[in-house]
């Protein structure tokens, strides 16, 4: 596939390509251009040139274009789901949900952008008008990870476009194919230069986009380490940074939680996309009095999950994205075992799957916060369970992390629920329904989990800058002017 710059498919100035492989088979699916800083320059120049006309289009015109893109994605729904499954690895039902969420994000922001522009505020005196206006920045750089490449791009691109900005996107080198295909089939009706996609490695394309002087906004989803790198690179330029970074999300099981339902909720929260979700449950806290029963029930449930290629209809849990990511999970499990943890189920590469980056869903007990698996982002199919004695202790354990992306609680005790959402420091709190997002509900983290919000009105505000206009309509002489 080719990059998308100024409304057409183009090759890289490097003449080189990057192979994109299926993580379930390790077979090459296709290649994409290995972009260079010169390609970024071309894309940014196109976006910059398109910006003046694009910002002058009406909210209705922009809404119609986004609705049309959503309709075209629906027309190519099955094709996009299949391609995404092959390059990213999630089972088909999870990728169908991603594409559905993505196209509905376009429809949501198309309409939201039609009724927000700013506000009129009370003026200091009669005969005056005070306006608070929202204006686009210009070119927005969108840097997107591999785990939800379409969803996380459109969570950025849809509000950025609706706000009147133009876009240069850089997909992950691991999963660029569906992004390029989506742009070709669903966004080619946008004016040339409004949307551009440059493929390539982060050290080449990503850094060039981040530091480009004509890109005032960087919207990034990825690891905290890369977010810190972006912040350092842009410190001297005072860019607007929108950073959705790592997480180490806790799931607290309260003593009143129905065991069977809580087990099902936790299995989903921890193992969707093989645990490769920024809001995956990575730490579990269970009352000591019910720990044994809960852990055994969870291990039994997890042992029945079907591991295999995402494209197969019988698969529950697909592969990890690559060997380096799987090796990190193995390191975390090995560290936990060396410190006294026990594996109830999983904890190994499946012997019946010789190809692909598979790792068995793993349940561990006897863990504590001295272990890497309870402190560092694992990003894999592991469920470490720790006992607690009081709900105060559970809240303290949930907060005992440098991250603050999300947190889950299973309880029907209203007093515990209120304490949890008031006292746990995380950007999203899920009660009894983990990892369910809301188009109108802002998503983002606290602490080391990032800056800014996606979705909702807040997600649109991220791509506007605010201007105050004070207009004295009469323009008369003021008695506080010189001379005093």
Residues in the chain: 484
Tokens of 212: 């480009």
CA gap 160, 464 in Å, rounded: 8
Helix (H), strand (E) at residue 32: strand 28-33
Dist. CA 185–CA 315, nearest whole Å? 29
Contact assessment for residue 437 and residue 101, using Cβ atoms and an 8 Å cutoff: yes
How far apart are alpha carbons 376 and 364 in whole angstroms?
Answer: 16
| Other C-beta atoms lying within 10 Å of the C-beta of residue 313 | 9
Could you tell me the CA-to-CA distances from 345 to 298, 319, 360 in Å, in that order? 9, 17, 8
Active site residues: 244, 278
Q: Is the CB of residue 77 less than 8 Å from the CB of residue 84?
A: no
Nearest CA to 45 out of 197, 205, 214 is that of 214
7 contacts 72 by C-beta, under 8 angstroms: no
Strands annotated E in 288-373: 342-345, 362-365
């Amino acid at each position: 596939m080719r990059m998308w710059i100024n409304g057409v498919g183009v090759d890289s100035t490097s003449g080189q390509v990057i192979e994109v492989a299926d993580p379930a088979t390790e077979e090459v699916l296709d290649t994409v251009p290995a972009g260079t800083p010169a390609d970024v320059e071309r894309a940014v120049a196109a976006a910059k040139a398109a910006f003046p006309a694009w910002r002058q289009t009406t909210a209705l015109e922009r809404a119609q274009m986004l609705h049309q893109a959503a309709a075209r994605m629906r027309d190519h729904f099955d094709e996009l789901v299949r391609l995404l499954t092959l390059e990213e690895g999630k089972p088909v039902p999870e990728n169908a949900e991603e594409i559905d969420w993505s196209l509905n994000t376009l429809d949501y922001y198309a309409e939201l952008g039609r009724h927000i522009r700013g506000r009129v505020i009370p003026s200091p005196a009669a005969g005056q008008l005070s306006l608070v206006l929202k204006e686009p920045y210009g070119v927005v750089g969108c840097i997107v990870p591999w785990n939800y490449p379409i969803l996380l791009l459109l969570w950025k691109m849809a509000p950025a476009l609706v706000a009147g900005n133009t876009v240069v996107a850089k997909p992950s080198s691991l999963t660029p194919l569906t992004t390029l295909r989506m742009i070709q089939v669903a966004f080619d009706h946008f004016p040339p230069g409004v949307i551009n996609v440059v493929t390539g490695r982060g050290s080449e394309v990503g850094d060039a986009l981040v530091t480009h002087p004509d890109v005032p906004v960087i919207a990034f989803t990825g690891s905290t380490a890369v977010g810190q790198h972006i912040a350092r690179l842009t410190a001297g330029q005072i860019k607007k940074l929108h950073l959705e970074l790592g997480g180490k999300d806790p799931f607290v099981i309260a003593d009143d939680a129905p065991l069977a339902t809580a087990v099902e909720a936790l299995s989903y929260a921890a193992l969707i996309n093989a645990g490769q979700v920024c809001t995956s449950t990575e730490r579990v806290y269970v009352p000591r009095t019910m720990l044994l029963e809960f852990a055994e029930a969870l291990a039994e449930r997890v042992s029945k999950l079907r591991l295999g290629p995402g494209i197969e209809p019988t698969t529950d849990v697909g592969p990890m994205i690559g060997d380096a990511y799987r090796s990190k999970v193995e390191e975390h499990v090995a560290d936990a075992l060396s410190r006294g943890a026990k594996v109830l189920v999983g904890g190994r590469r499946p012997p019946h799957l010789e190809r692909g980056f598979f790792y068995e869903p793993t349940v561990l007990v006897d863990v504590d916060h001295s272990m890497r698996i309870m402190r560092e982002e694992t990003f894999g199919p592991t469920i470490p369970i720790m006992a607690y004695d009081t709900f105060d202790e559970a809240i303290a354990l949930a907060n005992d992390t440098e991250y603050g992306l999300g947190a889950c609680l299973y309880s029907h005790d209203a007093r515990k629920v209120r304490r949890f959402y008031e006292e746990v420091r995380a950007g999203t709190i899920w009660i009894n329904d983990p990892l369910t997002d809301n188009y109108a509900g802002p998503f983002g983290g606290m602490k080391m989990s990032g800056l800014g919000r996606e979705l909702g009105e807040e997600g649109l505000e991220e791509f506007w800058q605010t201007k105050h206009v004070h207009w004295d309509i009469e323009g008369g002489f003021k008695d506080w002017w010189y001379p005093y």
